[in-house]
Amino acid sequence: MHGIIILEPAGAGKSPLGKYVADEMGISFLDIDEYIWRNDTEMPYTVMYSKEEKINKLMEAAQIAQEFVMAGSMNSFHEHFDHLFLLAVYLRCTTSCKARTGKRTKGVWRTHFIWR
């Protein structure tokens, strides 16, 4: 079991890039937000799972996937996963880049982040 982690900062486009890389590699994409934020509450993604639940849910998903790209922040529990990563990618993004993130297309991601 092993993977790639795409990290920080908020709004830099970790999830779209992670999905793109996973699709290109033919492996699973694990969006960390889906494993740390509850979506079964009145207002989804406003209440976190407990630390133990986060670790268990994400580890189970990683074990099922075997090969994966993860994207997101796991500052409070990364030590349980660090040994799984073959590559860590830290995105740097200016304020203007953050404002455009939601509008990027797959092709623009490839040109802007993969090849430059």
Q: 32-77, pLDDT tens digit by residue? A: 999 999 989 898 889 999 999 999 999 999 999 999 999 998 888 9
Residues 6+ apart with CB under 8 A from 47: 37, 38, 41
Question: Rounded to an integer, what distance in angstroms lies between the CA atom of residue 60 and that of residue 46?
Answer: 23
Q: Which range scores top for mean pLDDT: 3-12, 24-33, 98-107?
A: 24-33
Nearest CA to 3 among 76, 64, 92, 75? Answer: 64
